Amino acid sequence: MAKVLGTTHSFVNRVWLESGLKPHLSKGLKISNDPKFEKILVDCSGLYLSPQVNAAVFSVGKDSPTQVLVPTQPTYKPLDTSILFTALNVVSSKVIGEAEPKHHQQEFFSFLDIAEKQISKKLKPHLIVDNYSVHRHKKLRKWLALNKQVTLHFIPTSSSWLDLVERFFELLTKKQLKHGALISAKELKIALREFIAQHNQPPTSFFWTKSR
């Protein structure tokens, strides 16, 4: 644009800032280039809209609420890293959550064990997860071999919008983290647990809809 107008990049940038223009951001829906996109979309949509009678379907994801700052301090300082592993029951919207300091294989497996214990043995867990490397690690395949009742469904690449748990993370940020004055990672974990407990009494329902 600067070249076309015969001006400088700094001038164009200043005009954009003063006008609140952000041409580098897109509000449109980014379509995945995953070659199996349609097949995976149908699979995940079927789990959301018409789960099997004996299935317990969960949207599983992680959030890294590390940008919680202390507004009363002269210098804002991010808190220590804390990863929130979450499993959202797509039928009841009840959330199972666990805060961990890192997102490695052992933390993810630990969370899966915790989540599985809270699922009725009469049901077969179906977990919808993203394509993060931990979720495709060879150790996870071994874990699945020992837990044959669990089935993983990977969403397509560049399709976080298909992971229903992201809606919960949005509420978490909007209603809890943006309004908290937290000064330690310990307080952050407490705030996360309190929000999950509040959400589950009773759960706030989320619904997938489709055009007719």
pLDDT tens for each residue of the chain, 212 residues long: 777 778 887 777 777 776 666 666 655 556 677 888 888 888 888 888 888 888 899 999 888 765 445 555 555 455 555 788 899 998 888 999 988 777 677 888 888 888 888 888 889 999 998 876 666 678 888 888 888 888 989 888 778 888 889 888 888 888 877 766 665 677 778 888 888 999 998 887 777 665 65
CA proximity to 66, closest of 182, 202, 166, 207: 182
Q: How many CA atoms lie within 13 A of 86 on its CB side?
A: 31
| Domains identified in the chain, total number | 2
Q: What is the pLDDT of residues 92-117, one digit of tens each?
A: 889 999 887 776 778 888 888 888 88
Host domain of residue 17: 1-28
Q: What is the pTM of this model?
A: 0.71
CATH code of the domain covering residue 171:
3.30.420.10
Do 188 and 82 contact (CB within 8 A), yes or no? yes
Same domain? 9 vs 62: no
Q: What is the dihedral of CA 46, 52, 56, 60, to 10 degrees?
A: -10
Residues 85 and 10 placed together within one structural domain of the fold: no
User: Radius of gyration of the chain from Cα atoms?
Assistant: 21
Residues 70 and 16 in one domain: no
Is 210 a member of any domain?
Answer: no
Among residues 121, 191, 172, 108, the alpha carbon closest in space to that of 150 is found at 121
